[in-house]
Amino acid sequence: MTETVLLVGGGGREHAIARALADDADLYACAGNRNPGIAELSEGFETLDTTTPPAVVSYAEDVGADLAVIGPEAALEAGVADALDDAGIYTFGPQEAEARIETDKGFQRRFMEKEEVPGCPDFEEFRDAEAACEYIDDYDGDLAVKPAGLTGGKGVRVIGDQVTAEEAKAYIRDSDYDRIVLEERLIGEEFTIQAFVANGELRVTPAVQDHKRAYEDDEGPNTGGMGSYSDASLELPFMTEDEYHGAVDVLRAVVDALDGYKGVLYGQFMLTTEGIKVVEFNARFGDPEAMNTLPVLNTDFLDVLTAARDGEKLPKLAFQRQATVCKYAVPDGYPTDPEAGARVQIDTESAGDALLFYASVDERDDGIYTTTSRSFAVVGVADSITEAEDVAEDALQRTGSEGLRVRHDIGKPDLVQRRIDHMAELRD
């Protein structure tokens, strides 16, 4: 019998999930925006507020969903997984309490400290802005300033990299955040690993390096992610196989300590001269990292979901031995002052050999238009990072990009080599 799966969310990450499920399941989707790529792959698409659990449950029951997959973190924080589970619809996504590993950075660090999860940086949590500012003055070294709650990947400020100490204190004083977490600044190379988790088991995916900064050469403010790359092996060019497995050991420690966790556990790590450190955990697929890993997954993603639901051993994951490069096109002015309303002049055919994933776009009768967030991503898949970058760049160059901006340097040989050289210099 064909499984009926409900997908919650309408971004590029969810388009990648839809593509991984559409051939094997009767797929239905709901999101606050109508993603044309997801709609094309789905039997039905409902526009609704995915942070309202009763609305999501009602739609799931209307379509007869056997399973659900939640993409966005806001839906997890709102308890949508709890409500679907309570309605008898198994949901591949953590319930609200377990999702705090992402949605509450103070909880995240206290949890790591209590459970002795490896890689926890030095940190303190503050409810009082002036106390946080005094800590910055007294701390021997640079700090990362993190709002405790969700900020869409745009809330962190790093002293000594993005801001001065005085600018960081002004940021804290001017913000309306209830709690601030201050952490030691980690020096090294960042990477992420995503794991499928259920029934006390985890299955891991290749490492990916995301690029948060808005402009080329890692300049500008943080964004939700301008693009990312993975290699043809599990690890990235600047790391060893042992270092990859060291990060997996951290994920395993979290799964062992978080009883009953299900869904995707995303670890963002910093490879430092002192070993693997944890930048943060997310309780769902990364965006853009889902677009790097799911296209090269040979194991049917639906088989992971049904095994999780049925309490069976999760299948071992098999991946194509290929590299991927993902590049996002974003509205001019993104992320600080984005301009909406540009027409998106790309479709599956014009993308050529690249994969196209729509994200935050507005589908109208006369075409597809940008909103104020990331618009679409193209992903090149090839035998090497360089070849995959060529595929992605070709897709962008052959389509109109008026009103859109791209970080063209992601995945290019010079940038990848700089990562390798940077890590080599730190090791020396």
- Which whole number is the average pLDDT over 113-124? 97
Q: Predicted confidence band at 401 (pLDDT cuts at 50, 70, 90)? A: low
Domains of the chain: 4-93 (3.40.50.20), 122-184 (3.30.1490.20), 189-419 (3.30.470.20)
Cross-strand bridge partners of residue 7: 29, 69
Position 400 scores a pLDDT of 67
pLDDT in tens, 63-91: 999 999 999 999 999 999 999 999 999 99
- Which whole number is the average pLDDT over 234-261? 97
Position 150 scores a pLDDT of 87
Residue where the block lists tokens 């106390």: 131
pLDDT in tens, 359-368: 999 888 888 9
Q: Is the pLDDT of residue 14 over 80?
A: yes
Indicate the average pLDDT of the chain: 95
- Which whole number is the average pLDDT over 390-410? 90
